[in-house]
Structure 1
Amino acid sequence: MMATSLTPADLGAVEGLLGPVDARLTRDYPGEDTSRQPVHTVYVPADRYRAGLAQEWGERARQAVTDAGGIDAVLDAAAVPAPVRPAVGARVLVKLAAEPVEDLRIDLEDGYGDHGDAEDDVAVAAARSLRRELVTGAATPFAGIRFKSLEAPTRARALRSLDLFLTALVADGGLPDGLRLTLPKVTAVEQVEAMVAVCERLEAALGEPAGRLCFEVQVETPQAVLGPDGTAGVARIIRAGGGRVDALHYGTYDYSASLGIAAAHQSLEHPAADHAKAVMQVAAAGTGVRLSDGSTNVLPVGTPAQVRDAWALHARLVRRSLERGYYQGWDLHPGHLPSRFAATYAFYRHGLDEAAGRLRAYLDRVPGAVLDEPATARALAWFLARGLDCGAVGAGELADRGLPPEALTTLVRPGRGS
């Protein structure tokens, strides 16, 4: 038996010290959510939402492509590399026809405005329209509402609309799997705590299981990024959510305006935006909370040249977000869909062969130019899984490279089916 110096008492002391830390880390950092994440969220005013709207957006997006010079014009504007252009172009057209919107947010906040008690009917009508889409199979994979903030002037209205929407959904068939609820303009951690209490009460009243209701937090105020005590507000927000905060969405224009940034310089790539998103990214790492970038307010409208210029700007911003680990963003106009998917698909297809080759070499333990660690192998698998989820890559293409979906599942989604 080999000699050692640490006694059982020494080892027990270490366990006594670190055991509570292990429990805290497990609670606060359960790991990333590796289920499908939409590549974008489309916001539409609640009084304009109706069954079939996502398909209409797809039709308008395809018409914009035709009017501005065809799919090659989109690929040019998005600076899609030549080797992947044919596949990207073909897949974008398929996407615009089959699933033009991945995540639809019915907006009862800024995009809708203040209509007093008329909002009651709008909230219920939105729930009924969503139910019709669910019944016919036309619903987007993810959908939900953004209600008003829990600040004093809009609190009662926000909670009533949320209640009406969810109650109508439950009464008419239950809550959909892809339900998303968005809490905007958070200025205090206590608002998140209040939202948790509201979710608990609604679950009990509606007969839903505990924990069924989760919500996104929009980071639109300086207080959400940096608290008055100097701590990271978003970290406290995630903790206060008790596992119910499922995403942080950056709000480009409210946040920029609150810092006094001139309107002409409010952008996803402003240094102030990068700072806020970096804080969000660090706070959310390992917690299972998703991240979403914001939007550009430069719409692809006007002459064909103006549309192509707007596509070029949008595609560059989308690519920039993807490179920085923000895999989702907001889109405000049907014309944003072609550049969103062109930039996204180019990102995944451009990295397809390298990622697949490195992952295959890792799994086969083949020595190569890059010595990847297990964490990097998971990142490679996750990159490929994201491309598969959004339609940039096909399952057959991965299988041809020796990576059937179940191989990715083993690394990225243990315990899940293929």
Structure 2
Amino acid sequence: NRKYNEVDTVALTARFSALRASGGGEVQLRENYGPHGARQVESLAAAAGLHFKRYGRGTNTVLVTSTEPLPNYRPELDARHGTRQAEVALDDAEAARLEAALRRVGGAGAGGDSSTGSSDGGRTGGSGQYLPPHARREQEAAAVPDSWDDVPMADVLDAAPVDGGAPTQASARMRQRQLEHAHSPAAERMKEFRQKLPAFGARERLLAAVASNQVVVVSGETGCGKTTQLPQFLLEDAIARGRGAEASIVCTQPRRIAAISVAQRVAEERGERLGESVGYQVRLESERSEDTRLLFCTTGVLLRKMAGDRDLRSVTTVIVDEIHERGMYEDFLLVVLRDLLPRRPDLRVVLMSATLNAESFSEYFGGCPTMHIPGYTFPVDVRYLEDVLEATGHTIQPADSWGRGKAKPMAAGAGDANDISAPDYASPEYTTKYSAETVRSLHAWTGDEL
């Protein structure tokens, strides 16, 4: 039997109380408490009003308690990540060139220190390690320049909009258009169809899960509506909250025909022309505009975008559809996204699968929440050949030559074509439910007519 360290509840309670009183920070526990001990620590953290996450597994498990929400994955706490750090001596000229290069790619702010510059906008330290939100705020506050005259005008224009700014006005226009369309007859008819889909009933659960978690895994049977509805829910919610102009949702599809057809369907449901708020981009073809906020694309297109924007600064939500297909591009995208999450705590990732293997993807992303959408059941009516013959009035003649001058052989046991007695395989209501013509046709039928 494995020997685990005993949890000192009194000492940890005092330690967590001190952490809560400090107003910011975290406690990392590397003792081997085992699964039961980890649950004890989690309970103590919850009782103190703190956030808790468990990273790694086995002897490499790290229990982290923090005053701020924690990401699902932290590479510096993953023993398998293999990160390496080294100090490099630079002379003044080399340091100046490095600082200029970091500023060009947006990693270091105006007047920033090249030793702490990072292309992740301060969410990680210079060593690439994760910084909790309170530490990021302290770092960002320390980086505020003494004079705004030293800040490039491009940085000012890219800053968050103030009241009356163009992005706010654009969001208001999008919300007004959405409200006007919602009361149109076409929207009412489309809403009736959408409400019949199982995915429509999971709208509030999905929005709540995405708002409170970086990664959410959604599984749903084919036909439940997850591909067309879930991206729409996120876009509609952002527009309704007055954040439509700030939203940038990318939904990947494994095939270009799927990306195009789904974009066309979603635009139709929204009562828009393709290329307005909903568009698509595949290799050598696109239909989008500056107003596009929901973009359907192939996985390769998103990977190509990340080659030039590795932190996806222009994207707020990434939806990866059909992850159960496990294509090469899809698997590589999941690896890249997992490494990206610590650098982008504001990024939301939704993984959608048509099978019930959500647990494996959830485990890969540090135990992120999962939700399942049931399939849509369609009514099925059983119709037999005799029903078709009865409905169409078609008759089968036993001696039909089919233009070859040859009579067709009778079915075994059929007897005389005028005999309307039921064959051995017929139901008791064979002669009472169907007409004499249908019964004679079934006696004459050999299968060649099909």
**Higher RCO (C-alpha 8 Å, min separation 6):** 1
What's the TM-score once normalised by structure 2's chain length?
A: 0.24
Relative to its length, the structure with more helix (as a share) is 1
What's the TM-score once normalised by structure 1's chain length?
A: 0.25
Q: Which structure would you say has the larger Rg?
A: 2
